[in-house]
A and B are shown apart, each in its own frame.
Chain A
Amino acid sequence: MSKRFILMLAVTFIIFTTSSVILLQKEIEEPIILPIGTQALHMEEESFINMSYVTNHNEDIELKSIQVGELELVPYTKPYHFSVNTETEESDSLIQSYPYYDLHSVEFKVNENEYSALTAASNKNATAFFSNGVKQEFPLKLEVLTKKKEYLFVGVQSSDTAEGESETIFTITEAGTIEEIETVFPLANIKLYKEDKQMTLPYNTEKGEKLSIRISPNYRIWDSRYKNIIVHGTFATGEPFTEGIAQYIYELPPKKWMNDFVMEARDR
């Protein structure tokens, strides 16, 4: 064997050993479910429960089903999805690969006749069943949104602010009070603004008032398919309301966020 070839083998061996040590250090034993905030179910509309989870890179683990109370839900397969080559096909749920990890997202379609059974089980732990036999409990909060009376109207869609935040502007259609704002993405730094001034909650609103919600870049809501900001409050009449706002920015969590998130979850 020539010296040059031996050197080439040595380089490969060193790189392989280094990368393997790093990979093994970063490895997670089980998939990690990203915490889910309140999931909105819409009356007279198709509703989905969206779940995301992290696996090791190239680990072929699928979320087979979730058990919410008495109901078992299986992932919703998009009707237009088909595959020619099942051998090389990446898993359906994979939405982004990171160094060491893969981010998966799965949606579960919910029929209106299942709403009552689901909301009865809301605020309790649901169970996720993975294809590798792992079973995990996770907190799930569901809320049914009615379309009876619109509290706000989203006229201008999401855009980026100079500070790099994601902003959604909306108009108040009925006077009332905003008591709480939450997102399906927990830990998000979410703030209410009026003309570049941050407002504190609870905030009394007037009909026609223009407000905006801003989310800091590291915790952007990254799945645009859902009404993923939920505004809670009361109308001027005292009647409570819950409204959903869709964020139309499709952005995935940055590398650093993913790494920090997995490290934190592993330490817990």
Chain B
Amino acid sequence: MSRFFSRVLIGFAFIIIDFHFGIDIIPDIIGYIIIARAIQKYAESKYNKTAVLLSYISGVISIIEMPIIYSAVENFPTVVFLLYGFITSIIQLLFYYYIFGIFFSFVQNTPHVNYTKRVKHLVVGSLWIVITSIYLFEITQHIILGFAVVIAGIALIIGFIMFIIYCYKMMKYGKLIELSEKVEHVETT
């Protein structure tokens, strides 16, 4: 458990830290690969396969979204560009949804289920509001929708901070569990 969450933390650091010089010198794809590998190695849940697939797809998208390549995408016909935007947004949403699915498999029967739910609602919920209200704002340019996008954006940033804290706490909790298991093992032997 602790190893899984520590890998997720490292992977997430790659995803959120951006140093752009035409290309991202801390590429997001490495983060997605670390997360995918962590799922394959340490997680056991029905969400594994899909989460790994979504993680790799997200990695590919992160390459396309580097400014140097993205300028080519921008010049695609509007229909293609709109579809691309929609698909990438939905993949991001699914990625976090499935990641939390895996998190739940770790915290089942522990006191951390409600905490996991709260972080999930904040991250997935605010990401959903951002994506959905952006489409509405695009056609209406209504100030209230613009405001909703900003508020949801702030909530998403808070959600990501909570996500980091959550992973850190779970890593520590995992270590504690492992330690107590070892102690128990020693005692019984």
Contacts and interface: CB of A to CB of B under 8 A. Distances in A.
A60 B141 contact: no
Interface residues of A, number: 24
Interface in A42-96: 56-57, 60, 87
Contact of B78 (A23, A60, A87, A99): A23
A87 B67 CA distance: 8
A5 B131 CA distance: 14
Contacts of A87: 20, 67
A23 B82 contact: yes
A8 interface: yes
Contact of B138 (A8, A9, A19, A255): A19
Contacts of A15: 132, 135-136
Contact of A1 (B97, B128, B132): B97
Interface string B96-112: 01000000000000000
B93 interface: yes
Contact of A19 (B67, B79, B139): B139
Nearest to B79: A24
A99 B90 CA distance: 24
A56 B81 CA distance: 13
Interface string A7-18: 011011001101
Interface in A18-44: 18-20, 22-24, 27
A98 interface: yes
A153 interface: no
A68 to B, nearest CB: 29
How big is chain B's contact interface, by range? 20 to 34
B86 interface: yes
Given A57-B138, A98-B141, A9 B93 contact: yes
Contact of B139 (A8, A11, A22, A255): A22
**Which of the listed residues B67, B78, B139 has the most CB atoms from chain A within 10 Å of its own CB?**
B139
A24 B78 contact: yes
Nearest to B97: A5
B74 interface: yes
B141 A8 contact: no
A257 B25 CA distance: 46
Nearest to B101: A1
Contacts of A27: 78
B139 A99 contact: yes
Nearest to A98: B141
A147 B166 CA distance: 72
A100 interface: yes
Nearest to A101: B141
7 contacts: A9-B90, A9-B93, A12-B132, A12-B135, A16-B135, A87-B20, A99-B141
Interface of B: 20, 67, 74, 78-79, 82, 86, 89-90, 93, 97, 124, 128, 131-132, 135-136, 138-141
Interface of A: 1, 5, 8-9, 11-12, 15-16, 18-20, 22-24, 27, 56-57, 60, 87, 97-100, 255
